[in-house]
Amino acid sequence: MEIWSIGIGRMIATALENNGATVYIVGRRLEVLETAAKESNKFGKLIPLQGDVTSKDSLLSLVETLGSRHGYINLLVNNSGVMFAPQSRHSLEPVKDIKELQARLWDYSTPEQFAKTFEVNCTAVYFTTVAFLELLDAGNHKGGIHGVTSQVITVSSIAGMRRDSQMFSAAYSMSKAAVTHLGKLLANILKDQKIRSNIIAPGLYPSEMTAEMWSEELVQKGVPLQRGGEIQDMGGLALFLASRAGAYVNGTLHISDGGRLGLFSSTY
Ligand SMILES: NC(=O)c1ccc[n+]([C@@H]2O[C@H](COP(=O)([O-])OP(=O)(O)OC[C@H]3O[C@@H](n4cnc5c(N)ncnc54)[C@H](OP(=O)(O)O)[C@@H]3O)[C@@H](O)[C@H]2O)c1
């Protein structure tokens, strides 16, 4: 298996399916989902569905499909995310003067990329959750593990807590801070329906998003445990939250980063 094609969503989906769940995976590129489903399924229950979380029509169509096939879901994982890398690779070098700082900050993202980051990483998480509420509510009445209420898991990032100047993408960091807050807020908004909401904040995991920035030096110097996150780390955490062991966990943030966040000035 090619390491960069793994991705956090695939790790979570694989862990859940390989332990008995029926798991639908959603993305815009159907062929990527089909490859993941073919390579990672154990029981033939990893099912690809094409969809765009920024489109209301697409969300409603996904809800319709799942509603007609099953009538409920027990877990919604909001994993989709984007991060736009700066045009130039200069983020870790000190600036000479204010002009250089200004040029660098212009370069980090265009206004369109800034808005897109918020649209996918934050706004879409809100509307995806809203779209699936009836199916999550139905999950509390049919199916599922005894004692485990329906749940929304949102994949945020430790970037949402970093305050250091090496955090080159303010848009990404801010979008993840916002979605972490949304995850906490949802636990209260959905409390009367007994739908839980929890947040996972990963550190460095191999994926398409991190492929370009990944290096052995980054892992050795940038992670106290000196390795990237693996499927057992992310999949195990998702299994805990989805299982009876995690059934009392609600409105909380779970960092999985090998200690990386501790190396930076942060809000944690
Ligand atoms: N890898 C890390 O080190 C790391 C660290 C912290 C947080 N995270 C977060 O983890 C999540 C997963 O990222 P990843 O690292 O696994 O990167 P990735 O492999 O690039 O996965 C991102 C996924 O989001 C999907 N996506 C993007 N826009 C979408 C849209 N409009 N509608 C539906 N799906 C969409 C992509 O599929 P399509 O392009 O086919 O739509 C892709 O499957 C993200 O929220 C990311 O911010 C990752």
Q: Is 172 a catalytic residue?
A: yes
Kindly report, residue by residue over 54-71, the tens digit of the pLDDT.
999 999 999 999 999 999
- For the chain, domain boundaries: 3-263
The answer, yes or no, to whether any atom of ligand 1 lies below 6 A from the CB of 28, is yes
Q: Please tell me which residue in 80, 150, 157, 176 is annotated as part of the active site.
A: 176
Query: Which atom of ligand 1 is found nearest the CA of 204?
Result: 3
The answer, yes or no, to whether any atom of ligand 1 lies below 6 A from the CB of 7, is yes
The answer, yes or no, to whether any atom of ligand 1 lies below 6 A from the CB of 77, is no
Token pair 């920035």 in the structure block, residue: 213
Mutate to test the pocket of ligand 1, among 11, 209, 225 (most ligand atoms within 8 A of CB): 209
Q: Cα dist. 166→73, 87, 94, 160 in Å?
A: 40, 16, 10, 13
Instruction: Determine the pLDDT at residue 229.
Output: 97
> Which ranges of the chain have pLDDT less than 50?
1-5
Instruction: Determine the pLDDT at residue 42.
Output: 97
Q: Please tell me which residue in 156, 173, 197, 207 is annotated as part of the active site.
A: 156
What CATH topology corresponds to 3-263? Rossmann fold (3.40.50)
Q: Are strands 75-78 and 151-155 parallel, antiparallel or unpaired?
A: parallel
Instruction: Determine the pLDDT at residue 90.
Output: 56
